[in-house]
Amino acid sequence: MPATPTPPRALTVAGLFAGIGGVELGLQAAGMSTQLLCEWWEPAQGVLQHHFPDVELHDDIQTLTALPAVDVVTAGFPCTDLSQAGRTAGIHGVASGMVKHLFELLEDASPRWVLIENVRNMLVLDGGTAMEYLVSQFERLGYTWAYRLVDSRFTGVPQRRQRVILVASRCDDPRNVLFADDAGDLPEALYREDAYGFYWTEGNTGLGWAQDAVPTLKGGSGLGIPSSPALWVCDAERGRAIVTPTIEDAEALQGFPRGWTEPAQSRGRASLRWKLVGNAVTVGVAEWVGRRLADPGSAVAAPSSELPQGTRWPTAAWGRPGERWAVGLSLWPERNPYQHVLDVVNPDTAVPLSLRATTGFHNRLMKSRLRYQEPFARALKAHIEHMAQTSTLAAATAR
């Protein structure tokens, strides 16, 4: 009788800058086991301790002296100084510059894989200084690296969120992880026309417009003031309104179970949950990477060209000491079943955008030169009138 094959050993993970565990939750769904988490912010620590109770939690990467012997080291380091919505101080800013500690730890560690995630803006900020720093550090340590810009919608969540995923290894080819899948651009017919996401805090130079999706969820202010997107619901059957998702909706839009960040409320204001979710990594993105880390494929055939140092960073590239290459790939590695935004955000339970917020956004939009759909402008005006009437009625009832 033939011997039963031994199942492959589950890869082990150390999660640095762990946040609320989006990367680790995705890797866990791909069959991995987390051995260490490192996160400094107390509200995030509360979430990690609740959902990963048996995992060692270290509170500061600056005092972490060594990495455990794991297969995968993750580092979704702070985007504060790299994001368009942040300070844009760059890769050596106080927050984003903390990534230097990752490379200090890698000096004396030998993981099979290193996984980094961060915002698209780091490809262009300061002429791409951030990407140059990251890949140069990996090359200095003898790693082969590859990165790819992906859109979270490929996982099926209705959130237009573009993030850079970078994988590096001393012993394996990261192209067989990040470049092994390519579904091509998603067809516009995929999206319904019953709701559109936008950012009500904009209106002067942009809208953050997204069909059948919300624009990128943001962390909000440093004080924890939420910066939630809004939805124009224009479906006759499900109602017509201007609403904002609940925090539980936001969790689902990031691929987390609803209520994932509830444990943070014991560590601070409930509004901090928005910052935690906005700073997180979409779970499905991490799961896709995890499946490929555990079972690399073969890089798909794609156009490629040499990438001289100092040129603009493309949406996908790879390199190793002495050579760098740009690769032509889409932002959609896979095409998973799509959740329409109104199947995630229920207009009946979502919060109407306030009179003040809607009025301010409408006024900015009318003064701008931005293009917008005329029915959208009419819907904003109708919402303002409705909220004003509701406010007047409430005031009269209170007398």
Considering the domain architecture, whether residues 178 and 218 belong to the same structural domain is answered as no
- Name the amino acid, one letter, at 81: D
The last residue of one of the domains, among 292, 327, 362, is 327
Does 342 have pLDDT greater than 90?
yes
Q: Which residue has the higher pLDDT, 223 or 339?
A: 339
Structural domain containing residue 211: 188-255+339-394
Write the DSSP string, 259-325: TTTGGGGGGS-TTHHHHHHHTSPPHHHHHHHHHHHHS---PPP--EEE--TTSPP-SEEEEETTEEE
pLDDT at 24: 98
Considering the domain architecture, whether residues 75 and 43 belong to the same structural domain is answered as yes
Does 219 have pLDDT greater than 90?
no
Rounded CA separation 27/35 (Å) = 12
pLDDT at 98: 85
Does 90 have pLDDT greater than 60?
yes
Q: Is residue 5 part of a domain?
A: no
The last residue of one of the domains, among 327, 349, 365, is 327
Considering the domain architecture, whether residues 112 and 213 belong to the same structural domain is answered as no
Does 226 have pLDDT greater than 80?
no
pLDDT at 199: 95
Q: Is residue 25 part of a domain?
A: yes
Q: Band of the pLDDT at 6, cuts 50, 70, 90? A: low
How do residues 22-79 score in pLDDT, each as one tens digit?
A: 999 999 999 999 999 999 999 999 999 999 999 999 999 999 999 999 999 999 987 7
How do residues 257-309 score in pLDDT, each as one tens digit?
A: 999 999 998 766 767 999 999 999 999 999 999 999 999 999 999 999 999 98
Q: Is residue 388 part of a domain?
A: yes
pLDDT at 106: 97
Q: Is residue 7 part of a domain?
A: no
Q: Band of the pLDDT at 366, cuts 50, 70, 90? A: very high
Considering the domain architecture, whether residues 215 and 176 belong to the same structural domain is answered as no
Q: Please check whether residue 267 is in contact with residue 26, taking contact to mean a CB–CB distance below 8 angstroms.
A: no
Considering the domain architecture, whether residues 163 and 199 belong to the same structural domain is answered as no
- 171 catalytic per annotation: no
Considering the domain architecture, whether residues 227 and 161 belong to the same structural domain is answered as no
Q: Band of the pLDDT at 225, cuts 50, 70, 90? A: low
- The whole-chain average pLDDT of the chain stands at 91
Q: Please check whether residue 168 is in contact with residue 140, taking contact to mean a CB–CB distance below 8 angstroms.
A: no
Cα–Cα separations (whole angstroms), residue 305 to 317, 326, 328: 9, 5, 9
Q: Is residue 90 part of a domain?
A: yes
Considering the domain architecture, whether residues 75 and 205 belong to the same structural domain is answered as no
pLDDT at 363: 96
Rounded CA separation 120/84 (Å) = 9
pLDDT at 392: 74
Q: Is residue 332 part of a domain?
A: no
- Of residues 66, 76, 10, the one with CA closest to residue 36: 66
The secondary structure of residue 92, as a DSSP letter, is: T
Does 139 have pLDDT greater than 60?
yes
Considering the domain architecture, whether residues 200 and 149 belong to the same structural domain is answered as no
From 38, 79, 171, 234, active-site residue: 79
Q: Is residue 300 part of a domain?
A: yes
Considering the domain architecture, whether residues 375 and 314 belong to the same structural domain is answered as no
- Rounded percentage of the chain residues whose pLDDT exceeds 90: 78
- Rounded percentage of the chain residues whose pLDDT exceeds 70: 91
Considering the domain architecture, whether residues 104 and 246 belong to the same structural domain is answered as no
Number of domains present in the structure of the chain: 2
Considering the domain architecture, whether residues 197 and 180 belong to the same structural domain is answered as no
Supply the CATH number for residue 68's domain. 3.40.50.150
Considering the domain architecture, whether residues 243 and 390 belong to the same structural domain is answered as yes
